[in-house]
Amino acid sequence: MTTAPHPYRVTPLRVLRSEWHKFRTLRSTWITLAVTSALTTAMGAGLAAAYDGTGEGSMDTVLFVLLGTQFAQINLGVLGILATAGEYSTGQIRATMTAVPRRLPVLFSKAAVLAAVALPLTLATNLLTFPLAQSFLTGTDQAASFGDPGVLRALAGNAAGLTLLAVLALGIGALVRSVPMAIGVFIGIVMILPEVLAVLPYALVDDAARYFPGKALEALTTAQPMPGTAAPGAALLAMALWTTAVLTLASAVLRRRDV
């Protein structure tokens, strides 16, 4: 005699739907995403409009146009942290883990939802920002088009890098379980530590700093690789490894620690 499946059985798809529902029903989510996109576009257009054709010739064109992603990496990082550490701060995580006692599907579903939103948003923003900025850069040394070597790869690479940074931040939030502390760790790893390591008088340390997430994102955002930076493929691999390592550590901690 066979029994019908329980209508409320926990499945990966249902966990994914639950996390998507949490993500999309928070007003702060869409405000953060809208501000991220608007800041990137506005800064790219503003810098291009103010550019007088001198002083920035050594900077890669795509990197120049997408300088606004400095704000994007912070905004998306905070969004990722709130997706995990935010639940710990409100106590909602207890209900979540009671409903999904295996725990790991929750973490992976949160990461999947965040990545599924961040990647198309950042890519669409980049594809809008670049031609808008280029409309002000005609006739300057920063003029470029989608057909130029490396441009589309850099625009897509930046979007992929920002998405990986957001998921990395989500993993940090799951590890630290405190929003302020997780933000501090994220900023330290992405922005501060690589700069500190770069000034140390050791070639090995300087080489390693190139593969930290913030520096790797910079390498991904250049149409033409610059001296002293990682190659785009190596930078993308480094970011993927950073994100995988943090999620793996977060998974191990999540399985062993009490909620």
Residue-level pLDDT at 1: 47
Residue-level pLDDT at 39: 94
Residue-level pLDDT at 8: 62
Nearest Cα neighbor of 229 from 245, 207, 244 is: 207
Q: Which residue has the tokens 């913030």?
A: 214
Residue-level pLDDT at 52: 80
Q: Which two tokens stand for residue 59?
A: 């900077």
Residue-level pLDDT at 98: 82
pLDDT digits (tens), the chain, 259 positions: 455 555 567 788 888 898 999 898 888 899 999 999 999 999 999 999 998 876 555 789 999 999 988 889 999 999 999 999 988 888 888 888 888 878 888 999 999 999 999 999 999 999 999 999 999 998 888 899 999 999 999 999 999 999 999 999 999 999 999 999 999 999 999 888 888 877 777 777 778 888 999 999 999 999 988 887 889 999 999 999 999 999 999 999 988 876 6
Contacts for 24 with CB less than 8 Å, ≥ 6 apart: 30
State CA 200 to chain mean position distance: 27
Residue 31's identity, in one-letter code, is I
Please tell me the distance from the alpha carbon of residue 96 to that of residue 133, in angstroms, as a whole number: 44
Q: Which two tokens stand for residue 235?
A: 């930078």
Residue-level pLDDT at 57: 54
Residue-level pLDDT at 136: 93
Residue-level pLDDT at 258: 62
Please tell me the distance from the alpha carbon of residue 216 to that of residue 197, in angstroms, as a whole number: 14
Estimate the share of the chain in helix, then strand, then coil, as percent rounded to the nearest 5: 75, 0, 25
